[in-house]
A and B are shown apart, each in its own frame.
Chain A
Amino acid sequence: MYQFSGKLKTFSLALILVGLVGIGYGFYSAPKTVEEAKEIISHQEAHGDSHATSHEEVKVDEHHSSEAVETHGAVAETHASADAHGEHHDDAHAEHVLHQLKNKPWSALYVSLFFFLGITLLVLAFYAIQRVAQAGWSILLFRVMEAITANLVPTSIVMLIVIGSAVMHWNHMFPWMAEGTFDPTSPNYDPIIDGKSWWINLPGWAIRSVVYLAIWNAYRWFIRRNSIKEDTVNDNHKTYKLSYNVSVGFIFLFMITETLMSWDWIMGLDPHWFSTLFGWYVLASLLVSALTVIAFVTIYLRSKGALPGVNDSHIHDLAKYMFGFSIFWTYLWFAQFMLIWYADIPEETTYFAMRFNEYNLPFLAMVVMNFVFPILLLLNSDFKSIPWFVVIGGVVILLGHYIDIFVMVMPATVGAQWSFGIPEIGSLLFFLGIFIYATFSAFAKANPIPTGNPFLEESEHYHYYNIEHRGEGSGDHH
């Protein structure tokens, strides 16, 4: 049995505390009034901040083109007249910026939350796939994956809080939640969003969100319990087969809930924009991160001697998945980007125009980090079985996919007002702390080897043909 060391526990709690301070600072330093926002704008302009200068045209441009194209004259005109009158425009602009600045601490929290929640969810999905595929190599990693999925509970709770706060209108992350969006008499009326109100509406959104979380957590609760039960029961694989069947059902539901979740939680941040590929694109991003996290936790636990039997071939397989799904992510990223760039239909192009103009560096850097780096680093078969190599590759992959989520969320919520500072780092540390605490305390609670799995012996004998086993866990050579 693994012992969750006091040192690591303290470390994770420290991360949570430091993270909380960072998050709190973010909320504390956000402006509360238009005056404060104006002050910040003038401050930015005085310093010739490139964000502030380029921001105006781009944001306004983006805002209008989508509406103008859909020929909803009324709204476009209101804004156009606002543009015409300088003074009026300043106020409108300041209010706009105020909203974006108010969104900043929320978005910082949301990006990290979605990143960690999504990774945990995809670890769960990968685990279900391993069960359904009757994989023979990965059985020794089952407890690692199960332990990571323990993080689903706390992240789901934070997600519920965020959902609740959105319902209570404590934040403006989802523009369609603003007052008057669906009210034709309101100056905020948005006919495009109103046309989608059958799907985009607060009760529907909240109920759906809760349902996704409930389905995922239910499976996670069930499969963890059943998996531990498999260890001791001797019932001719009855428990194992039940786990199998439930996992099939979960994958079925997962495919649907994941797609809907990505529309509700991410695509809904840009309610005028749409892309049919989006759900799978989010999936690919989270999947490759999830595999990296599995590899990290495995490598760490193995180095502590907590995973007897896990050898370099297992690491090699994980690294192969990291490599393969990095390319798969790139494939989907490119498919989505290229098709929209190629056809250049205005209501779709605004999405990338905004990201190219205001998020140029992260947008392009993420492609390098998520594609170029892994493909060069992890192509070599020998490298894939060297833990420190996998860790280096994995750190870049994880950072790259954090940026990916960042670039999905931030342009919609804070626009040009983005930065990477204390609130963002604080959120990351907060969720990292929760992740470490949840994962390792869960791992310490069960036998690290799932002794009842009928494929366990295959996993223990697993040896990829050209891998030379070295270091920890390689004593058991076949």
Chain B
Amino acid sequence: MSHYEAPIREPLVLGDKSYHDITEDIAKPIEGAANKNWYIAFYISLAGMLWGFGCIFYTVGTGIGVWGLNKNIGWAWDITNFVWWVGIGHAGTLISAVLLLFRQKWRMAINRSAEAMTIFAVFQAGLFPIIHMGRPWNGYWVLPMPNQFGSLWVNFNSPLLWDVFAISTYLSVSLVFWWTGLLPDFAMIRDRAVKPFQKKIYALLSFGWSGRAKDWQRFEEVSLVLAGLATPLVLSVHTIVSMDFATSINPGWHSTIFPPYFVAGAIFSGFAMVQTLLGIMRKVTNLEDYITRMHIEYMNMVIILTGGIVAVAYATEFFIAWYTGSPYENYTYLSVGAATGPYAWAFWSLIIFNIITPQLLWIKKFRRSFIITFIISIAINIGMWFERFDIIAIVLSKGHLPSTWWRFEPTFVDVGIFVGTIGFFGVLFLLYARTFPVIAQAEVKTILKSSGEFYKKRREQGIPTKPAINVANAAGTTDKSNKE
């Protein structure tokens, strides 16, 4: 008997697909030519990216003073965008690692793109710690390297230094995890390629993967170990990012709930971004049979859950700020002062986009609607940007001393760099979608017979499914529970 699955579970692969159909569907966007829409999107993104690069060069060449920062608000859009992008990246690791540990099969259709999103988002995030330095050319001083200043080292007590380690480790581990998973898929493209140049490229990328039993066994072990490592990593990375604030003594920043709350927010915003991207991708690459309504609904459930955790954290912040009895807490990002002060618009954007709008997802009809999901996912992306902005800017705008109270107004350079990172992200993601297998075909093939619509229906009707191609099935799996 092959793997048993309860009939009550909804199918994850729609239609009457064979293994070959999966290959064809996934290889199609890579093997075909890009259409006009792709070029339009690409050039818009490229323009945004170039504009952003221009703003970065202008900043570095002229000085940080071209930004809207002032002597009291030393962090605003830069670190907001940094935390926002890092947060977005977290969903990728959550989908590929945490959901692997929890043996969630629906992960298989979305993990590849979510991981790509992680990596491209971490690229964007990684820009900010460098460009927000006053002297970025001395940036390498953050590394503990022996040197000619009597071996002058870094101070390991700063969360900004932990950030350096966290982000760089996160990027490297994510990259390795992603690439390992890509090997069988690159090999598939290699084996199908007809043009010699293309064959050469994918032969290089696939590291000579030949899909032997021993290789698959090692492959699965590695995936599991990396998932086990990436899970604490993903928690610790955003934890460390949160400690940039939480270790301080600013009311509104110094809060012990920040580590898990930032992580929950990261998953929340990351899943929203996955929804935004996959909502478009499943349409334009004709992968609707793989990224189904069920996938969208499951992701929406994760959004409700993490959104709920974030909401509890907001309430906790709000309550404890009052409970401390400290008058200073009254001006922080989630307080009566914030809701009525000069940044009330930012405060209420946070509440509306993050807490109120996502509650619509409790309704099954909305949860399964592509359009509504898409709109809500955009709202959450905006809301989570405001969360970080509120945490950073509102807190800094009203510190302990009233004589230091000031406001922050972004300049076109602040905005331009943010737009630039969105453009850069778009460029990378669009290129990825044209050259990489956007769905892990090797993994999806392992669930075809247990969770495919065709096979499920046949089992239900008591018709024995074809005894075909079991050899391939035994090979390609990272979900261990499949094999009996």
Contact = CB atoms under 8 A, between A and B. Distances in A.
A465 interface: yes
Interface stretch (B78-86, B147-155, B165-173, B242-250): B242-250
Contact of A455 (B6, B254, B312, B317): B6
Contact of A192 (B9, B236, B257, B325): B325
B16 interface: no
B232 A327 contact: yes
A457 B8 contact: no
Contacts of B470: none
Contact of A339 (B8, B254, B316): B254
B77 interface: no
Interface stretch (A4-12, A175-183, A227-235, A269-277): A269-277
Contacts of A85: none
Contact of B6 (A332, A457, A478): A457
Interface stretch (A147-155, A215-223, A340-348): A340-348
Interface in A402-460: 454-455, 457-458
A312 B289 CA distance: 36
Nearest to B362: A248
B249 A255 contact: no
Interface string B298-338: 00000000001100110011011001111000000000000
Given A276-B316, A458-B6, A339 B256 contact: yes
Interface stretch (B45-53, B189-197, B433-441, B476-484): B476-484
Contacts of A134: 9
A355 to B, nearest CB: 15
A91 interface: no
Given A343-B247, A461-B484, A478-B1, A276 B256 contact: yes
A322 to B, nearest CB: 14
Nearest to A460: B4
B484 A276 contact: no
B255 interface: yes
B8 A454 contact: yes
Contact of B4 (A339, A345, A458): A458
B483 A465 contact: yes
Interface in A220-259: 237, 252, 255-256, 259
A192 B324 CA distance: 9
A280 interface: yes
With a 10 A CB-CB cut-off, give which of B101, B259, B480 has the most chain A CB atoms: B259
A478 B482 CA distance: 11
B258 interface: yes
B257 A464 contact: no
Contact of B320 (A70, A274, A465, A478): A274
Contact of A259 (B232, B316, B483): B316
Nearest to B104: A133
B235 A331 contact: yes
Nearest to B248: A343
Given A331-B259, A339-B243, A466 B480 contact: yes
B215 interface: no
A102 to B, nearest CB: 28
Interface string B249-272: 100001111111000000000000
A335 B239 contact: yes
Contacts of B319: 199
B57 to A, nearest CB: 37
B17 to A, nearest CB: 23
Band of interface residues on B: 35 or more
Contacts of B313: 276
A335 B260 contact: yes
Contacts of A279: 316
A465 B478 CA distance: 10
Contacts of B101: 324
A277 B260 contact: yes
A478 B484 contact: yes
A345 B312 CA distance: 25
A86 interface: no
B409 interface: no
Nearest to A465: B480
B309 A255 contact: yes
Nearest to B9: A134
Contacts of B8: 237, 454-455
Given A276-B317, A343-B247, A466-B480, A461 B256 contact: no
A457 B247 contact: no
A134 B247 CA distance: 39
A195 B317 CA distance: 18
B5 interface: yes
B257 A454 contact: no
A462 interface: yes
Contacts of B256: 275-278, 335-336, 339-340
A343 B249 contact: yes
Given A276-B257, A339-B254, A458-B4, A464 B480 contact: yes
A325 to B, nearest CB: 12
Interface of A: 70, 134, 136, 192, 195-196, 199, 237, 252, 255-256, 259, 274-280, 324, 327, 331-332, 335-336, 339-340, 342-343, 345, 347, 454-455, 457-458, 461-466, 478
Interface of B: 1, 3-9, 101, 220, 232, 235-236, 239, 243, 246-249, 254-260, 308-309, 312-313, 316-317, 319-320, 323-326, 480-481, 483-484
30 contacts: A70-B325, A192-B325, A255-B308, A255-B309, A256-B312, A274-B320, A274-B323, A275-B320, A276-B256, A276-B257, A276-B317, A278-B256, A280-B257, A327-B232, A331-B232, A331-B236, A332-B260, A335-B256, A335-B258, A339-B247, A339-B254, A339-B258, A339-B259, A343-B254, A454-B6, A457-B6, A458-B4, A458-B5, A461-B4, A464-B480
Which 4 pairs from chain A and chain B are nearest by CB? A465-B480, A276-B257, A277-B256, A335-B259
Given A199-B319, A335-B260, 10 more contacts: A70-B325, A255-B309, A276-B256, A276-B257, A276-B258, A276-B313, A277-B255, A331-B232, A339-B256, A461-B4
